[in-house]
Amino acid sequence: MSQIDDLPPLRDVIRIHELQARKSLGQNFLLDLNLTLKVARTAGDLSDCAVLEVGPGPGGLTRALLVAGARRVVAVEKDPRCLPALAEIAAHYPGRLEVLEADALTIDLERVADGGPLKIVANLPYNVGTQLLVDWITSANWPPVWQSLTLMFQKEVAERIVAAPGSKAYGRLGVLAGWRCHATLAFEVGPKAFTPPPKVTSAIVHLTPRKAPLDCDLKALERLTAAAFGQRRKMLRASLKPLAADAEARIAAAGIEPTMRAEQLEIADFVKLANAFAAG
């Protein structure tokens, strides 16, 4: 673990500020600064945009984002124990780091962007990561205020986000992400990179918004995918029956075989079905 700036090594920061990771907050601190720099670079050019980071902890990724040239970083941290360590980083990079003590689920992205481009880069807390992603990719306004999402998840969740039809990982999350975004799995991160080491491998996912997703009512698509994948072993005519008395007729009208199962459908098929079930 080499240094990327003149600030103390992260292990020293954690020791000095007594920052033991808390399971209740979904914390697993990423200590390898070379690895945090790789995460930051995966997000692309940061020099002309604001960067939102969620759950910075002792600031390993925060430092990497600043070293990588981020014009401005807004770090949202719910744990007040981490604020003194983040304040030291802010002093080292004057005018470029703003630390907000807040719950990321309540953050106004328009306020963070402040009229300019925004990228979101984060080692997301495990307990809220999926909810944050869903919130960001189901924004009522599209294209969204953010230009890209570069996010760390448990590998299993990452695979669900980028899953293709026919795979075991393909489900509601993959449909929502694929409908609104281009999503790729950038690289994996082993447990030993963290403290404490989690029991699972993690992975970085990079998402960019589709400028013109297929026209579809979001609420209808969410209901449709929840029903279809909630009983994924059943044929569509059975799994979607709770949504409408004439479910089989609507499925056929959308050009889909009622005997197919959810995992066999392309994202475009789900859009057709959602529109068919939204009508009436």
Please give the backbone phi and psi of residue 2, each rounded to the nearest 5 degrees, phi first.
Answer: -85, 165
Looking at the chain, list the stretches that DSSP marks H as alpha helix, in order from N- to C-terminal side: 10-17, 33-42, 60-67, 83-92, 109-113, 129-137, 155-162, 172-180, 218-230, 236-239, 247-253, 267-278
Residue, of 24 and 171, whose pLDDT is higher: 171
Give how far the C-alpha of residue 263 lies from the chain's centroid of Cα atoms, to the nearest Å: 22
Tokens of 33: 């600064």
Domain range annotation of the chain: 10-209, 218-278
Q: What angle do CA 243, 176, 262 make, to 5 degrees?
A: 50
At residue 83, what is the residue type?
A: L
Spatial separation of the C-alpha atoms in residues 19 and 151, rounded to whole Å: 22
Select 10-209's CATH number: 3.40.50.2300, 3.30.365.10, 3.40.50.970, 3.40.50.150: 3.40.50.150
Residues 121, 39 contacting (CB under 8 angstroms): yes
pLDDT in tens, 105-148: 999 999 999 999 999 999 988 889 999 999 999 998 899 999 99
For residue 108, the 8-state DSSP code is -
Annotated binding residue 30? yes
At residue 127, what is the residue type?
A: N
pLDDT in tens, 65-115: 999 999 999 999 999 999 999 999 999 999 999 999 999 999 999 999 999
Q: Is the pLDDT of residue 61 over 90?
A: yes
pLDDT in tens, 155-173: 999 999 999 999 999 999 9
Select 218-278's CATH number: 1.10.10.10, 1.10.3720.10, 1.10.8.100, 1.20.58.2030: 1.10.8.100
Average pLDDT score over residue span 191-218: 92
Closest alpha carbon to 161 in 187, 134, 142: 134
What residues have CB less than 8 Å from 198, skipping those under 6 apart? 28, 126, 154, 191
Annotated binding residue 123? yes
Q: Are strands 194-195 and 29-30 parallel, antiparallel or unpaired?
A: antiparallel
Sheet of 118-123, strand order: 97-101, 72-77, 50-54, 118-123, 146-154, 202-209, 181-189
Q: For residue 261, with 0-12 CB atoms within 10 Å meaning exposed, 13-18 middle and 19 or more buried, which class applies? A: middle
Please give the C-alpha separations between residue 70 and each of 53, 155, 213, in angstroms, as whole numbers. 11, 27, 29
Residues 84, 18 contacting (CB under 8 angstroms): no
Whether residue 143 has a cis bond before it, omega within 30° of 0: yes
Q: Is the pLDDT of residue 14 over 70?
A: yes
Question: Given this chain, do its domains 10-209 and 218-278 carry the same CATH topology?
Answer: no
pLDDT in tens, 264-276: 999 999 999 999 9
Tokens of 135: 């919130």
Annotated binding residue 28? yes
Q: Hunting for tokens 């999350």 — which residue is that?
A: 173
